[in-house]
Amino acid sequence: MYTLDILLSFASIYFAFFLRWDWDIPGDQYEIFIALLPFVLFCRSLSYFYFGFYSRFWEYSSIEDLVQIIKSVVFGSFLILFSTFIYNRAWMVPRSIIVIDLILLVMSLGGTRMLWRILREELRQFSQPKIEHHIDALIFGAGDTGAHLLKHLKQFFPNYSVIGFIDDDLKMRKTNLMGVQVLGAGSDIPRIAKEYEVKELLIAEQDISSEKLAELIDICTKNGIKYKITTSVIDLSTNKISISKIKNIEITDLLERDMVSLDLSSISMMLKGKRVLVTGAGGSIGSQLCKHILEHSPASLIMVDIGENYLFDLKMDLGSQGKDTKTKYVFGSVTNESKMESVFAEFRPQLVFHAAAHKHVPLMEENVDVAITNNVYGTKLTADLSEKYGTEKFVLVSTDKVVRPKSIMGMTKKLSEDYIQFLSGESKTQFMIVRFGNVLGSNGSVVILFEKQIANGGPVTVTHPEMERFFMVIPEAVQLILQAGAIGAGSDVFLLDMGKPVKITDLANKMIRLSGYEPGADIEIKFTGIRPGEKLAEELINSGEKAIPTKHKKIQLLRSENTPGKDFGMRIETLCLNAPKVDPVELKGMLQELVSINSSKQNQVNVCR
C-alpha cells in the first residue's frame, strides 16, 4: 500500500505541474519539479506515517478514514511549503500547483481505498456458498441504525435480501438509502409485504416508542410476518444480529389507559417551608415521593427506612437535590417506639406520609406476626406520635386489598385504615388515607418479575388465566399521595380512577411481544395456581363506603358511613401486644376476628339505614 501511495503522490504533483502550465511545462519549472520531487515524496511519506495510514484496515474504510486522508494531505502540503521557504526559496512554486496537487492526491488516495473496499465486498459475495434459504425482508427505520443494519446484512448475511425500507417520516418517502428505496410507512406494511412476498420485518429504529413497537408487532402478527428487533446491530461474540428488546419497556404503555395527570398547583403551598417526614422512604413509592417533595422546598425532610441499602441508595440518588432543605436519613423501624419518639421529638414534623409497609401477599401469609407488627403497630405508633406532637396532616398509603380482605396483608392494612379513621374523630391532626391498586414497576411488582423471566427465556409464570388487577404507575401514586395531603380533611379516603382491571395473562402477553418475542412460540406462559391469600379479582370500595366526586375528575373521595367503636383502640393494642407471643394459627384467628367484628359493625349500620 505504501508503494502505491508514493506512486500516487508522484503522479499527483506531476499532473499538477502539467495542469498549471496547460500541458507545456517551461524549462525552468521542469528543473524545479525534478529538484523538488524527492523532497515532496519525503514530506508525503512523513505525513502518511504520522497519520497512521498503514495501521488501518482500508477494506473497512469510512467517512472517518477519508477525513484522515484529507488531514494527512493538507499537513503534507503545509510541510512542503514551509520547508521550501526555509531551505531553498528557489524551489518555491505557484500556490495553484500546491492546491491542484492537494485535490488530485485526496481524490486518488480516497478513490483507491474505496475501490479496494468495493472489490473486497464483491469478492466476498462471489465466494459465498450458494444460498438455499432466501429471506426477503423490510427494514423499519431509514436512519443510521437502519443503514448500519443494511450494511451488516450485505457483509455477513447474504441470505437476506432487503426489499426496501419502511419509515413514518413523510420526507423519507421514495428516497434511497444505500441503493434501497423507502417504500412507505408502517401502515403500508401489509400491502408491501403482500406485493413483494416479504417474510420478515427488521425493526431498526433507535428511539422507537413502546406504543409504536406494539403497533408494528400487531401488524406483523396479523399478517403472518416474522419480526426481529435489533438492539446493537452486531453481536461481536457470534457475529449475529442481536435480537432482543430495543429498549426497556415503558411502564406507562402497560396501563392500557392514559396516565392520570393531576393539578399539583396546590402542592407547593402545602409543602413549602414545612417539616416533612416520610416513612418507607427507600421504597419504590417512598423514594419518588421524597424526590417530588424536595422540588417544593420544604424546610426539612426526614426520611425513615428499615432497609440500610435502600436508604443509602436514596441518599446517593437525591445527592445535592433540595439544597435549601435540611435532610435527615433515619435508619430504623417504624415499630421501634424509642427511635420514632426521638425522631418526632427532635424534628416535630408538620406533615407525615406513612408509606412503610410489608406488602408481599404470599410472604405475609407465612409471617403473620411480622405483618401485624409492621403494618398495624407501625401505623398505630406513627399515627399516635403524629397526634401527640401536633402534626398537621397524616397520609396513610393503603391498598385495594383492604376491600373484603382475604390475605394477611390485606387484613393488616384494613386494620391500619380503620385505626386512622378511629383517630380522626376528635383529633386536631387531619388523618387521610390513599388507596392504591397494584403499582406497576415498584419493587417486587409483577412487571419486574416478568421482565426477569423474559430475559431468562421464560417461562413467564401466571397464577390463573382469569387473574386480574387494577394498576397504576409510580408517578400516579406519588401525585395521589401529595394531592390527598393538599385537599384532604379528617377521615378522608382517596381513590384514583384506574380504569378497568387488567388480566395478568394479557399483561404477560403484551410484555412478551414488546420484548420482541411471540407468546407460546418463543416464551411460554405457565399457570402455577392461585397462592394462599390471593383473590382472582380485587375491589376498590368497601361496604359502608360511599364514593363522592372531587374537583379532580380522576379522584374519588370515599366516605365511610361509620367509624370503629370506642373499644377498637383497645382491641388493636391487644392484637399488637400478642403478635410476637402468640402461636401463628391463633394469631391469624385473632386478626380475622377483629377484621370480621369491625366489618360486621359497618354492615349492621348499613342494614339499619
Are 15 and 104 within 8 A, CB to CB? yes
3-state percent breakdown (helix, strand, coil) of the chain, nearest 5: 50, 15, 35
568-578 vs 378-388: helix crossing angle, rounded to 10: 130
274 given a catalytic annotation:
no
Q: Is the Cα dihedral 162, 118, 51, 67 positive or negative?
A: negative
Q: Which residue has the cell 380482605?
A: 405
List Cβ neighbours of 584 (8 Å cut-off, separation of 6 or more).
Answer: 368, 369
Q: Is the Cα dihedral 210, 212, 217, 218 positive or negative?
A: positive
Q: Which residue has the cell 393503603?
A: 398
Q: Where are the alpha helices (DSSP H) in 348-407?
A: 361-365, 368-371, 378-388
Contacts 24+ apart (CB under 8 A), 572-576: 572/376, 572/380, 572/415, 572/419, 572/422, 573/380, 575/372, 575/376, 575/415, 576/372, 576/373, 576/376, 576/377, 576/380
Q: How far is CA 104 from CA 8, 33, 147, in A?
A: 9, 17, 30
Cα gap 278→395, rounded to integer Å: 10
- CA of residue 230 relative to chain centroid, distance: 17
Are 322 and 276 within 8 A, CB to CB? no
- Considering 274, 393, 401, 588, which one is annotated as catalytic? 401
Side-chain half-sphere exposure of 487, counting CA atoms within 13 A: 20
**Hey, what's the cell of 407?**
390475605
List Cβ neighbours of 176 (8 Å cut-off, separation of 6 or more).
Answer: 182
List Cβ neighbours of 187 (8 Å cut-off, separation of 6 or more).
Answer: none
Amino acid identity of residue 225, one-letter, is I
Are 259 and 243 within 8 A, CB to CB? no
Q: What angle do CA 491, 558, 423 make, to 5 degrees?
A: 15
Are 344 and 389 within 8 A, CB to CB? yes
Cα gap 166→186, rounded to integer Å: 6
List Cβ neighbours of 518 (8 Å cut-off, separation of 6 or more).
Answer: 221, 512
* 8-state DSSP, 406: -
Q: What backbone phi and psi angles, to 5 degrees, belong to 468? A: -140, 155
Closest among 291, 318, 203, 226 to 474, alpha carbons compared: 291
State the catalytic residues.
401
